[in-house]
Chain A
Amino acid sequence: MKQHPRCSDCEDRVTPMDLPVPSGLKKEWLVSESRRQFLGRSGKVLGWAALGTLLGEAGFHYRAFASGANPQARSGVNRLGLPHFAPKSKRAIYLFMSGAPPQVDLFDYKPNLTAQFDVDMPASVRGNQQLTGMTSGQARFPIAPAHWPFSRQGQTGTWISDLLPYTARMVDDLTFIKSTNTDAINHEPAIMLINTGNMNAGKPCLGAWLAYGLGSMNDNLPTFVVLQTKTNPKENNQPVSSRLWSSGFLSSEFSGVGLRSVGDPVLYLRDPEGVDRNVRRKMLDAVEEINRQTLAEVGDPETNSRIAQYEMAFRMQSSVPELIDLTKEPQSTWDLYGPEAKEPGTFAYNCLLARRMAERGVRFTQVYKRGWDVHDNVVGTLPVLCQETDRGCYALVTDLKRRGLLDDTLVIWAGEFGRTVYSQGGLSQDNYGRDHHPRCFTVWMAGGGVRPGISYGETDDYSYNVVKDPVHVRDFNATILHCLGIDHNQFTYKFQGLNQKLTSPVPAFVVEGILA
């Protein structure tokens, strides 16, 4: 009985080289000798075959655009058939309030609570909800009304806390969702869920999906940029990790590029002393050549990503210094954003950078502001947090609007969940704390695709349960994709046997009621 030619146990020493096959193929066998290589490559061949089938007609229709290392061509409209329909927004800016801002104190006006100060929240409101370990042991759940007054603002007469005097000036441009809710009650799962559609790490985030699906609008800057705001040590800062802007199972070139909040925004961006652009170029060309050899040998798509990233970094050497050079900003910019915007790492500075990136064709910018986790000392901390962010938010929306960018830019303001109406820890006339609350929280959006000046969804008298038009964070993400021209159900990537999507396998629905 003849043994398989690749089997080295073969006693009569028949080698593959004895087979009547073209010499080119024999050479290929020599470089891919190991079993690991063989299995790995067979897997990839099957993968590509599957991808070819998945793309089907659409894949061939758009194959015209698919080509080599140009990231624009390797993603976007062309290969995936995206956007599915004409988008209202081309780009998005996501102001992420990590730690969960208290909706009761800022947006969800409950005038009836003032009279119920220190009254126990009825048990029926909470139902059988499992609380966090931080308050589950509390003997009572006394109601803590908002410490600051609310007032009606704008032509729409929207109620908003006096803590947000700048946001109050633009309420007519904002779309509030007061009925957002999530599944998780702790920070990490909740922040993963809202960013990636799944509480477990390993899934691509919104920005990565957008970078993969829509591609770049600018060859010289990343498609997806993450800006972190300098932390204030007096605040309760929850960690924010790169898992949140990870590309998960998508190619790593789609993950967010973080710009540092202190020092150089991108490390080692400047060429070292004595190395000029030409030397750098030659070096990169040589590295690319080596990488291409590796790619030919191993066939790992991640090598392609590496090549693309080196090229992007080279282009960013000239585009990023231009991006962060604020000297040409007119005085009107500083009047609007305030003097804080001149200091790198502040929220206002990041908002200004976000506007500059929107102008330069960055598809998705996510600004993280930490410190909203006000378990205690709400009265002491919340005004600081509002003061740090309020003007930047207003300046960004207003600046985009006056420059004509808000028509096709979606601005999103959200945290990972809300906070309880009852006080965590001691409640006094002067202070209180608020625990995590996943059942309802307020977010806002502005710009292309959403209807300005409206408020969607309602909560009960305790800002505890949603009573009208609930919006799950999955629905929220589906709506964001919709504004950018994507049908979230059709935008999938096959991984682990599942057509993975941002909105996870659980059904999600676009919130039609807020669309423009």
Chain B
Amino acid sequence: MRVRAKIAGAAPSVLRRTRMIPQRWLVAAGAGTFILLLPLFFPLDGRPHADWLQFLGRFHPLLVHLPIGLIVLWPLLEIMGMKRPALREAAGFVLQLAVATCLAAIVFGLLLAYGSGEIGTTVTRHMRGAIALAFELLVALSIRDSWLADQRSRWYFILLTATVATLAWTAHQGGSLTRGSDYLTRYMPPALRNLLAPSAVSSHPDSFFTRHIFPVLDTKCVACHGTNKEQGGLRLDSYESLMAGGKDGIVIAPRNPDASLLLKKVTLPPSDPHFMPAEGRTPLTADEIAGIRAWVKAGASPEVISVAGMIFAGDREEAPPPVGDYSALMNEIRQMQQSQGAKLVPVSANPSDGLILRTTDVGASFDDRQLQKFQRFAPFIVEAELGRTSVTDASVETLIQFKNLRALHLEGTAVTGRTLGKLSSLSQLNYLNLSATKVTSDGLAPLKSMPNLRHLYVFETPAEPNSADSPLRSSQ
């Protein structure tokens, strides 16, 4: 068997090399020209065309997976063929089949885009990638025989690699068209995602729009109304473009959900030809529609933080990281409970929630020296209630060892703020109360670099802003 295969594989290729090369080059050149000219006959002008074009075009997703499988199979066969010539012979056939199906997929793909009037940068990229891929395949088909004759040539393998790379890129563009551009990154671990594509910085990161409206548009609408495609001249990939509307005018009428075209379209019966999202894509859920409606009703502002009547589970703060188990120190903690001094109180029955340092019963007799005694519990203390005690600026040195500290009460103490900058090493610190101290705005300046410090209180201090009635809850 093996001998026969060898003979059968070698003989015709010799024949072809002598007689059929020019013909093959001609076919390749002809097909290449056809592919290049095709977009000129069917220019993507953003308008839908005859239905039968689209009907045929809808076979593109079916066809397109054939060349993908074949193009992946082809280099495998070429490489394995170095060991087993029969596989190499098969590679030639697979390549021919890949060229044929690739050309067909391009034709049907173009019919789909032309027929349905899809435009956008991703559509264009997908088309150009496919054409480049077809060219690479045609070149590979043309030079394969000469490569078979002189196997030392590296060009064939370089071409092979380039073809697979082009395939990957083009397929990704196609995937982005159907699944949305964030299909791969949506559930990617955040660290990896930030490394690959730092997310665009929103001007209002906490706003209702950013947290609840934009994600809905991004998953359900942007595939057809974004940079990829711009159906109906409408883009929904930013607040500005949403409010600008499309060819049919504005889609959001602030304070008037019933006059907002976007809400009308998503609430039509799904069988209606104007129902959105079109083409059987996932419809918006009732909650998502309610969220948009409530937001529009409240004025469709890009800044508003919350909207009456709307609650989302994702709004909740993430649970802080657990601290270590303090059970080993239980004896000492227990003794402290029974004495008259400051107490360590468990946050909850779960030891990893940490301890609260409570000084309510000792008040002013609690000073810097006493605080130092708690150093050995430092990693387990998540909240230090030091308000109205006698601690001073010097205590900051002790406090920076409380690595898991989330809340620090220093209200009504002699703290002046000179040493507050050192607190910036407390990465978990979320709450800092400096009310009724001598803290100045200069003393607070170093705290601005603390990413987690969301609740800072400076009531009745020189640092307090002048608005007498407004509560001071500075969010950073």
Asked if B173 is an interface residue, CB under 8 A from chain A, the answer is: no
Contact call B348/A83, Cβ cutoff below 8 A: yes
Contact call B308/A332, Cβ cutoff below 8 A: no
Contact call A157/B358, Cβ cutoff below 8 A: no
Closest to B330 in A: A64
Asked if B372 is an interface residue, CB under 8 A from chain A, the answer is: no
Asked if A404 is an interface residue, CB under 8 A from chain B, the answer is: yes
Contact call A516/B315, Cβ cutoff below 8 A: yes
* Chain A residues, Cβ within 8 Å of B409: 404
Closest to A84 in B: B349
Asked if B440 is an interface residue, CB under 8 A from chain A, the answer is: no
Asked if B460 is an interface residue, CB under 8 A from chain A, the answer is: yes
The segment from A204-212, A344-352, A453-461 that touches chain B is A453-461
The segment from A216-224, A233-241, A264-272, A375-383 that touches chain B is A216-224
**A402 and B348 contact, Cβ closer than 8 Å, known pairs A217-B360, A407-B431:** no
The segment from B160-168, B179-187, B297-305 that touches chain A is B297-305
Give A207 to B309 CA distance when docked, in angstroms.
29
Give A451 to B308 CA distance when docked, in angstroms.
11
**A85 and B311 contact, Cβ closer than 8 Å, known pairs A156-B306, A217-B360, A403-B435:** no
Give A58 to B409 CA distance when docked, in angstroms.
31
Asked if B136 is an interface residue, CB under 8 A from chain A, the answer is: no
Give A172 to B315 CA distance when docked, in angstroms.
16
Chain A stretch 28-80: residues in CB contact (< 8 A) with chain B = 58, 62, 64-65, 67, 70, 72-73, 77-78
Contact call A156/B298, Cβ cutoff below 8 A: yes
Contact call A451/B306, Cβ cutoff below 8 A: yes
Contact of A87 among B306, B343, B348 (CB under 8 A): B348
Closest to B335 in A: A64
Contact call B468/A82, Cβ cutoff below 8 A: no
Give A156 to B297 CA distance when docked, in angstroms.
10
Asked if A158 is an interface residue, CB under 8 A from chain B, the answer is: yes
* Chain B residues, Cβ within 8 Å of A172: 306
Contact call B311/A514, Cβ cutoff below 8 A: yes
Contact call B433/A452, Cβ cutoff below 8 A: no
Give A77 to B343 CA distance when docked, in angstroms.
13
Asked if B334 is an interface residue, CB under 8 A from chain A, the answer is: yes
Chain A stretch 439-478: residues in CB contact (< 8 A) with chain B = 451-456, 458
Contact of A85 among B337, B343, B350, B387 (CB under 8 A): B350
Give A342 to B352 CA distance when docked, in angstroms.
45
Contact of B305 among A64, A155, A516 (CB under 8 A): A155
Contact of A86 among B309, B353, B469 (CB under 8 A): B353
Give A64 to B351 CA distance when docked, in angstroms.
14
Contact call A72/B337, Cβ cutoff below 8 A: yes
**A454 and B338 contact, Cβ closer than 8 Å, known pairs A157-B298, A335-B468:** no
* Chain B residues, Cβ within 8 Å of A84: 348-349
Contact call A398/B345, Cβ cutoff below 8 A: no
Contact call A403/B308, Cβ cutoff below 8 A: no
Shortest beta-carbon distance from A290 to chain B in Å: 24
**A404 and B309 contact, Cβ closer than 8 Å, known pairs A72-B337, A485-B348:** no
* Chain A residues, Cβ within 8 Å of B308: 156-158, 453-455
Q: Mark B449-470, 1 if CB is under 8 A from A, else 0.
A: 0000001010110000000110
Asked if B472 is an interface residue, CB under 8 A from chain A, the answer is: yes
Shortest beta-carbon distance from B306 to chain A in Å: 4
Shortest beta-carbon distance from A66 to chain B in Å: 10
Asked if A122 is an interface residue, CB under 8 A from chain B, the answer is: no
* Chain A residues, Cβ within 8 Å of B278: none
Shortest beta-carbon distance from B299 to chain A in Å: 7
Contact call A516/B360, Cβ cutoff below 8 A: no
* Chain A residues, Cβ within 8 Å of B407: 407-408
Q: Mark B309-326, 1 if CB is under 8 A from A, else 0.
A: 111010111010000000
Q: Mark B280-307, 1 if CB is under 8 A from A, else 0.
A: 0000000000000000011100001111
* Chain B residues, Cβ within 8 Å of A165: none
**A217 and B460 contact, Cβ closer than 8 Å, known pairs A81-B349, A86-B353:** no
Contact call B315/A401, Cβ cutoff below 8 A: no
* Chain B residues, Cβ within 8 Å of A64: 330-331, 334
Asked if A330 is an interface residue, CB under 8 A from chain B, the answer is: yes
* Chain B residues, Cβ within 8 Å of A301: none
Asked if A26 is an interface residue, CB under 8 A from chain B, the answer is: no
**A402 and B471 contact, Cβ closer than 8 Å, known pairs A64-B330, A217-B360, A454-B308:** yes
Asked if A360 is an interface residue, CB under 8 A from chain B, the answer is: yes
Give A404 to B304 CA distance when docked, in angstroms.
23
Contact of A360 among B343, B360, B473 (CB under 8 A): B360
* Chain A residues, Cβ within 8 Å of B361: 218-220
Give A62 to B334 CA distance when docked, in angstroms.
10
Chain A stretch 121-177: residues in CB contact (< 8 A) with chain B = 155-158, 172
Chain B stretch 350-408: residues in CB contact (< 8 A) with chain A = 350, 353, 358, 360-361, 387, 407
Asked if A515 is an interface residue, CB under 8 A from chain B, the answer is: yes
Q: Mark A357-387, 1 if CB is under 8 A from B, else 0.
A: 0011100000000000000000000000000
Contact call A332/B468, Cβ cutoff below 8 A: yes
Closest to B322 in A: A86
Give A58 to B313 CA distance when docked, in angstroms.
32
Asked if A321 is an interface residue, CB under 8 A from chain B, the answer is: no
Asked if B346 is an interface residue, CB under 8 A from chain A, the answer is: yes
Closest to B310 in A: A454
**A404 and B431 contact, Cβ closer than 8 Å, known pairs A86-B347, A217-B358:** yes
Contact of B306 among A83, A220, A401, A452 (CB under 8 A): A452
Asked if A513 is an interface residue, CB under 8 A from chain B, the answer is: yes
* Chain A residues, Cβ within 8 Å of B353: 85-86
Contact of A407 among B298, B455, B459 (CB under 8 A): B455
* Chain B residues, Cβ within 8 Å of A452: 306
Closest to B319 in A: A86
Asked if B411 is an interface residue, CB under 8 A from chain A, the answer is: yes
Shortest beta-carbon distance from B435 to chain A in Å: 5
Contact call B360/A65, Cβ cutoff below 8 A: no
Contact call B411/A77, Cβ cutoff below 8 A: no
Contact call B349/A73, Cβ cutoff below 8 A: no
Contact call A404/B457, Cβ cutoff below 8 A: yes
Closest to B315 in A: A451
* Chain A residues, Cβ within 8 Å of B348: 77, 82-87, 485
Contact of A451 among B311, B460, B469 (CB under 8 A): B311
**A83 and B349 contact, Cβ closer than 8 Å, known pairs A156-B307, A453-B306:** yes
Give A436 to B133 CA distance when docked, in angstroms.
77
Most buried by B among A156, A172, A332: A156
Shortest beta-carbon distance from A56 to chain B in Å: 14
Give A514 to B304 CA distance when docked, in angstroms.
18
Give A86 to B404 CA distance when docked, in angstroms.
15
B residues neighboring A (CB under 8 Å): 297-299, 304-311, 313, 315-317, 319, 330-331, 334, 337-338, 343, 345-350, 353, 358, 360-361, 387, 407, 409, 411, 431, 433, 435, 455, 457, 459-460, 468-469, 471-473
30 pairs of residues in contact across A and B, judged by CB atoms under 8 Å: A58-B349, A62-B349, A64-B330, A65-B334, A70-B338, A83-B348, A84-B348, A85-B349, A86-B319, A86-B347, A155-B305, A156-B308, A217-B358, A217-B360, A219-B360, A220-B361, A361-B358, A361-B360, A398-B469, A404-B435, A404-B455, A404-B459, A407-B431, A452-B306, A453-B306, A453-B308, A454-B308, A454-B311, A516-B316, A516-B317
Q: Can you list the 6 inter-chain pairs with the closest CB atoms, starting with the nearest? A: A404-B457, A453-B306, A404-B433, A402-B471, A401-B471, A361-B360
A residues neighboring B (CB under 8 Å): 58, 62, 64-65, 67, 70, 72-73, 77-78, 81-87, 155-158, 172, 217-220, 330, 332, 335-336, 359-361, 398, 401-404, 407-408, 451-456, 458, 485, 512-516
Extra 4 A-B pairs, beta carbons < 8 Å, given A157-B297, A451-B311: A64-B334, A70-B338, A86-B353, A401-B473
